[in-house]
């Protein structure tokens, strides 16, 4: 198998794994009233070094601003995030976790730990790092390819 065929097969595996990851994530966080999509946005907000506008969150996640805005609105309606004035931009509010949002993120981690421990059982950490390296390289190539097609 050449590298082109191997990469095509990897794409199919990524698509399948992503679908299973989303379904499993939905099931994992459902008791908290969340979905995988909300979890992903909440995690991105929680891990940011400072509050960010929706456009920056979307860019970091590689998603459309509109879809992230919808999820941020849902998180705000649930009391998990607040939208604060942005001193650098009048219309682009900064998204901040509320105390309830921090508690939800902490609860997610408590649910996630045993789930990840079970998934990783028997996996070689070195192989996981190699997979991460391959995915990071692929992501960079795809980002460059997308940037060139937009220009």
Q: At what angle do helices 54-61 and 65-77 cross, to 10 degrees?
A: 120
Domain with residues 9-112, CATH architecture: Orthogonal Bundle (1.10)
Share of the chain above pLDDT 70, in %: 99
Return mean pLDDT, the chain.
94
Residue with tokens 């099931």: 27
For tokens 């995915």, name the residue. 135
What's the CA gap between 115 and 21, in Å, rounded? 11
The two tokens of residue 92 are 């682009």
pLDDT at 150: 67
Q: What is the pTM of this model?
A: 0.85
Can you give the length of the chain in residues? 151
CA distance 50 to 29: 25
């Amino acid at each position: 198998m050449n590298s082109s065929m191997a990469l095509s097969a990897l794409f199919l595996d990524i698509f399948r794994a992503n679908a299973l990851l989303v379904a499993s994530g939905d099931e994992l966080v459902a008791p908290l009233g969340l979905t995988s999509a909300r979890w992903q946005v909440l995690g991105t907000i929680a891990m940011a070094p400072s509050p960010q506008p929706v456009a920056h969150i979307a860019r970091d996640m590689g998603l459309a601003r509109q879809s992230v805005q919808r999820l941020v609105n849902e998180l705000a309606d649930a009391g998990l995030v607040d939208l604060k004035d942005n001193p650098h931009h009048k219309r682009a509010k900064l998204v901040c976790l509320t105390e309830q949002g921090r508690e939800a993120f902490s609860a997610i981690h408590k649910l996630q730990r045993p789930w990840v421990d079970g998934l990783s059982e028997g996996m070689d950490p070195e192989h996981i790092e190699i997979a991460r390296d391959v995915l990071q390289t692929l992501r960079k190539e795809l980002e460059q390819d997308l940037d060139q097609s937009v220009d």
